[in-house]
Amino acid sequence: MIDRRLLLTGLAVAPYFAAAPALAARRAAPEEPLTAAEIVRRAHAAAGGQDWMRPRTLTLTGRGIFWPQGTEVSRLEVPDYRMWRVYPAQSDDAHAANGWVRIDAKQPDGSIYFQAAYDGETTYNQNGPVAGAEASREWSENFGFGIIRFALGEGFVLDRLPDDSADGRPIYVVRVNDPQGGKTLFGIGTEDYAILWLGFETPRGWHERRYSDFYRNPGVSFTQPGRVLLYYDGVKQNEIMWTGYALNDHLGRSRFQISAPVTHP
């Protein structure tokens, strides 16, 4: 610390101003920009580290709002919305079905709004098994987020795109190029490295998701967004509020298989 009394007498002036150019140079030197890989690495850590990167299963409960026609008049409240997921050990294709997954959506009267499931081989909806082409389209419009868990692996190429913002928060934008040719954009908060935004092309159009209201279960590092907004070509289609999650429970394969409804003559 400089003694101001010495400065007044001129005794400390020379060494202070001799050091000033070096101090100014250090302050003016730009920080080394973060690479895309380092941003993804920090996002992994912020989301929960290894527990988040390689979960075995996830069960989610919540509610949703749907706009099936993309208009306010088509708004539908879904008070019971659930998802079960068995994660793959590896993935190199962002938009292909993998692992096991099931989603159930029920209307206020308890009736099924829709169901969708995949047991590792066959796709199902509320009417039972779904044919191949329709099944592939279903998952290519929905799978995409999970690829960031594997993005630092062999064969992936990461690009840092121009910084942007999501819901008023500044984000780094990283493009994950997977080994199968898929391209998925992720928006990662510049302050806390939370994954706030996702974008990719689908047969249905440009798909975006916005994530917020993050929380953790007590004693668990795995971080879950409590609110997810889904858009196609800029129009909001779904709003999901996840109010609870369970991690790494046993989920049998039969849960991911849906039988055709029984019809009576």
Q: Has residue 129 been placed in a domain?
A: yes
Looking at 19-23, 33-37, 46-50, which range is the least confident one? 19-23
Q: Note whether 188 and 39 are within 8 A (CB).
A: yes
Q: What percent of the chain shows pLDDT beyond 90?
A: 79
Pair (21, 47) in one structural domain: no
**91, 177: one domain:** yes
pLDDT of residue 22: 53
Query: Is the pLDDT reported for residue 142 higher than 90?
Result: no
pLDDT given at position 260: 86
Is the residue at 264 inside a domain?
Answer: no
pLDDT at 92 over 90: yes
pLDDT one-digit tens code per residue, 60-85: 999 999 999 999 999 999 999 999 99
Q: Are residues 122 and 3 in the same domain?
A: no
Pair (79, 114) in one structural domain: yes
Whether residues 96 and 23 fall in one domain: no
State whether 137 and 158 are in the same domain.
Answer: yes
> Does 52 score more than 80 pLDDT?
yes
Check whether residue 62 and residue 116 sit in a common domain.
yes
- Predicted local distance difference test score (pLDDT) of residue 262: 67
Residues 17, 71: one domain? no
Does some domain include residue 265? no
Backbone dihedral angles phi then psi of residue 222, each to the nearest 5 degrees: -60, 125
Predicted local distance difference test score (pLDDT) of residue 21: 53
Residue 185 phi/psi, 5-degree rounding, is -100, 140
139 pLDDT band, cuts 50/70/90, is confident
Domain of 246? 36-256
Check residue 143 and give its pLDDT: 87
Specify whether 4 is located in the same domain as 82: no
**Distance separating the N- and C-terminal Cα atoms of the chain:** 93
55 and 81 share a domain? Answer: yes
Q: Is 97's pLDDT higher than 60?
A: yes
The per-residue pLDDT for range 177-217, each reduced to its tens digit, is: 999 999 999 999 999 999 999 999 998 999 999 999 999 99
| pLDDT recorded at residue 140 | 73
Q: Does residue 235 lie in a domain region? A: yes
Together in a domain, 61 and 18: no
pLDDT exceeds cutoff 50 at 6: no
The two structure tokens encoding residue 257: 């298989």
Residue 142 and residue 199 in one domain: yes
**How far, in Å, CA of 95 to CA of 247, rounded?**
23
Please indicate, yes or no, if residue 66 is contained in any of the structural domains.
Answer: yes
CATH code assigned at 235: 2.50.20.10
Report CA 133 to chain centroid distance, whole Å: 26
Is 214 a domain residue? yes
Total structural domains within the chain:
2
| Confidence bin at 32 (pLDDT 50/70/90) | confident
Structural domain contains residue 122: yes
Q: How many CB atoms sit inside 10 A of residue 100's CB?
A: 22
> Would residue 113 count as lying in a domain?
yes
Range from 47-56, 112-121, 134-143, 238-247 carrying the lowest mean pLDDT: 134-143
